[in-house]
């Protein structure tokens, strides 16, 4: 074994916080006393094993090696054993242990950050429900809780502090204080909403804890650390008392909603208390604290897993409620559909009855206004004794024609002008021919006018019948022309014209109830009626658009 392989290794480790040499190590040249190395101010060298090579020329039997280390008490520093030996004996075990600790720290920091991100995301994405509704505080508390723990444990892997001392120590230790405070708030929020005095107590706990940390690190004196130790002791006693109270309340409220969430929190708190007792009784008194495994650092994961369980349990409960609500709504919809089907059936039956009643009323009105009116006229003509038999016969024939047209209107296709004209021609042309009034028929094939329903078609039929009746009774015409053509080249609309070569009449002075009835019916169905009359030519024009 050659001397060049022999080195002196120094590893310095603190398991709970950072430390740093306040001044460079002194170098003594008398009697082969050497400088082992210097530690740059501002670095957390206590977190990383330090291996210092020793020149083999100094490894002689008459040389005295003196190692001087200085640590800053304000930084809660602690030292691992100083070892000397070959590189293969010192470097590999110490670096392996260091890497294991760093890996654990990274894993815990990453998990805490993931839990914090999940909690903040759930808190921020909660939909605004009813007016005045607020986001669930539970998610916000866990988000701050997990973030504080991630900041606290990450201090172990940061070699160069981000703030000057002692603010860096206050920041890192204050993160643990914040974690403890928000852990109580989170646990209480699971049990019931945190009251106003609970928030005030948490604020006092957080402020007093950070102040205790600042006094201890700033002063570096025993009294400062006694203040911090007193605060930690009070926190420990409070933790035990609170856990016992929490378990009792969970048992009392065991049959209420959220029991599973409270049981999980109870389990997490009991495991955390057990970890704290182990830290107090086993790890702290150990002389080999550097190698002793601490489990208190994993307590945050317990509450993180409890939070994930609560979120999953809430999601499961919400899914079950959604399924139940969907099933309930489906049943309600089925019932409503059944009720609506019955109501629709009743309404349909009522509509049929109303339609039949309306049709009967229409027929009676048409008989009264048309047939009844003509029969009444014939009766008055006979009673007066002044009418000729031919006039009475003409009135009775008009009454019969109108009766037939009223019956034909029952099956008249809606909007079909060609069918309407054909029906009128079939019923009335024989009477005109008997009176030596031939028809000149000029009717094109017309597109149905969709907007003219059965009622409108009957109104139009009465208008045409009235115009033809006037020609037959009053015009003394020898020729009648009936024309029907589309209004536009696209076949839209209809233009109806009835032209006779009779005596004509003065539109300004004529007063006939039939003409007024034609105007009223035209207005009712939305068509345009135009009348022009001069001796030898009378035109009745109906424009249907």
pLDDT score at 97: 65
Give the Cα separation of 280 and 233 in Å (integer): 11
pLDDT score at 314: 84
pLDDT score at 474: 79
252 and 346 housed in the same domain: no
390 and 420 housed in the same domain: no
154 — pLDDT class (breaks 50, 70, 90) = confident
Pick the most confident of 161-170, 233-242, 391-400, 405-414: 233-242
Domain boundary residue among 381, 411, 441?
A: 411
Output the pTM of the full model: 0.55
Q: Average pLDDT, whole number, for the chain?
A: 76
446 and 356 housed in the same domain: no
Domain boundary residue among 271, 287, 319?
A: 319
pLDDT score at 24: 34
Pick the most confident of 44-53, 357-366, 478-487: 478-487
State mean pLDDT over 487-510. Answer: 83
454 and 520 housed in the same domain: yes
354 and 435 housed in the same domain: no
State mean pLDDT over 455-473. Answer: 82
532 and 417 housed in the same domain: yes
CATH number at residue 133: 1.20.1070
Give the Cα separation of 215 and 224 in Å (integer): 5
Decide: 69 and 25 in contact? Cβ < 8 Å.
Answer: yes
Separate counts of helices (H) and strands (E) for the chain: 12, 8
Say if residue 531's pLDDT is above 70: yes
DSSP letters for 407-439: HHGGGPPTT-HHHHHHHHHHHHHHHHHHTT--E
- Domain for residue 6, yes or no? no
- Domain for residue 216, yes or no? yes
432 and 507 housed in the same domain: yes
pLDDT of 388-442, one tens digit each?
676 667 667 777 776 777 676 666 778 888 888 888 888 778 878 877 888 888 8
226 — pLDDT class (breaks 50, 70, 90) = confident
Domain boundary residue among 289, 319, 349?
A: 319
- Domain for residue 34, yes or no? no
Give 37 or 249, the one with higher predicted confidence.
249
Say if residue 157's pLDDT is above 70: yes
Residue with tokens 């032209």: 499
119 and 212 housed in the same domain: yes
Report the SS3 class of residue 329: helix
Per DSSP (E only), the strands in 175-230 are none
- Domain for residue 201, yes or no? yes
211 and 297 housed in the same domain: yes
Residue 302 C-alpha from the chain's centroid = 32
Give 236 or 514, the one with higher predicted confidence.
236
447 and 402 housed in the same domain: no
Say if residue 541's pLDDT is above 90: yes
Beta bridge partners of 485: 495
Decide: 501 and 474 in contact? Cβ < 8 Å.
Answer: no
448 and 523 housed in the same domain: yes
Say if residue 509's pLDDT is above 80: no
Beta bridge partners of 528: 543
Structural domain span for residue 236: 103-319
Give the Cα separation of 493 and 482 in Å (integer): 17
Question: Cα dist. 138→187, 245, 266 in Å?
Answer: 9, 20, 16
CB within 8 Å of 264: residues ≥ 6 apart: 306, 309, 310
181 and 266 housed in the same domain: yes
- Domain for residue 78, yes or no? no
22-51 core/surface letters (b: 16 or more CB in 10 A; e: else) = eeebeeeeeeeebebbebeeebbbbbbbbb
Say if residue 242's pLDDT is above 70: yes
- Domain for residue 46, yes or no? no
Question: Cα dist. 152→177, 257, 436 in Å?
Answer: 9, 35, 118
Q: How many domains does the chain have?
A: 3
The encoded tokens of residue 220 equal 């570096």
Say if residue 225's pLDDT is above 60: yes
41 — pLDDT class (breaks 50, 70, 90) = very low
- Domain for residue 219, yes or no? yes
State mean pLDDT over 444-453. Answer: 86
Say if residue 35's pLDDT is above 50: no
């Amino acid at each position: 074994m050659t001397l060049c392989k022999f080195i002196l290794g120094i590893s310095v480790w603190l398991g709970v916080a950072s430390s740093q040499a306040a001044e460079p190590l002194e170098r003594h040249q008398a009697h082969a006393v050497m400088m082992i190395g210097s530690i740059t101010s501002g670095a957390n060298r206590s977190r990383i094993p330090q291996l210092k090579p020793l020149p083999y020329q100094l490894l002689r039997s008459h040389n005295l090696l003196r190692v001087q280390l200085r640590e800053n008490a304000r930084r809660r520093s602690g030292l691992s054993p100083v070892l000397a030996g070959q590189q293969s004996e010192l470097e590999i075990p110490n670096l392996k242990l260091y890497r294991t600790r760093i890996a654990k720290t990274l894993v815990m920091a990453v998990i805490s950050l993931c839990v914090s991100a999940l909690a903040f995301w759930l808190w921020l994405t909660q939909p605004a429900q009813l007016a005045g509704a607020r986001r669930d505080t539970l998610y916000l508390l866990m988000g701050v809780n997990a973030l504080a723990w991630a900041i606290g444990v990450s201090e172990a892997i940061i070699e160069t502090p981000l703030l000057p001392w002692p603010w860096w120590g206050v920041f890192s230790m204050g993160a643990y204080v914040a974690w403890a405070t928000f852990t109580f708030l989170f646990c209480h929020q699971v049990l019931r909403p945190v009251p106003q005095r609970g928030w005030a107590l948490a604020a006092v706990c957080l402020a007093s804890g950070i102040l205790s940390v600042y006094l201890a690190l700033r002063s570096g004196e025993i009294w400062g650390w006694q203040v911090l130790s007193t605060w930690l002791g009070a926190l420990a006693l409070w933790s035990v008392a609170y856990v016992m109270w929490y378990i009792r309340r969970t048992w009392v409220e065991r049959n209420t909603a959220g029991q599973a969430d409270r049981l999980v929190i109870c389990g997490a708190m009991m495991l955390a208390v057990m970890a704290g007792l182990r830290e107090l009784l086993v790890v702290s008194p150990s002389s080999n604290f550097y190698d002793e495994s601490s489990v208190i650092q994993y307590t945050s994961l317990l509450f993180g897993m409890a939070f994930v369980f609560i979120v999953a349990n809430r999601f499961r409960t919400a899914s079950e409620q959604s399924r139940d609500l969907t099933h309930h709504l489906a049943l309600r919809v089925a019932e409503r559909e059944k009720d609506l089907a019955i109501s629709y059936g009743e309404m349909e039956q009522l509509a049929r009855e109303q339609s039949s009643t309306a049709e009967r009323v229409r027929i009676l009105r048409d008989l009264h206004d048309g047939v009844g009116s003509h029969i009444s006229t014939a009766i008055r003509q006979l009673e007066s004794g002044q009418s000729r038999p031919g006039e009475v016969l003409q009135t009775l024939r008009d009454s019969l024609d109108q009766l037939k047209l009223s019956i034909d209107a029952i099956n008249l296709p809606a909007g079909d002008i060609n069918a309407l004209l054909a029906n009128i021609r079939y019923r009335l042309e024989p009477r005109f021919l008997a009176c030596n009034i031939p028809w000149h028929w000029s009717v094109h094939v017309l597109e149905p006018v969709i907007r003219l329903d059965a009622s409108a078609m009957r109104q139009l039929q009465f208008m045409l019948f009235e115009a033809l009746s006037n020609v037959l009774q009053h015009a003394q015409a020898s020729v009648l022309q009936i024309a029907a053509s589309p209004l536009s080249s696209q076949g839209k609309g209809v233009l109806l014209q009835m032209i006779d070569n009779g005596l004509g009449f003065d539109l300004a002075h004529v007063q006939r109830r039939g003409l007024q009835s034609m105007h009223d019916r035209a207005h009712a169905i939305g068509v345009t009626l135009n009348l022009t009359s001069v001796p030898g030519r009378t035109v009745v024009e109906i424009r249907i658009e």
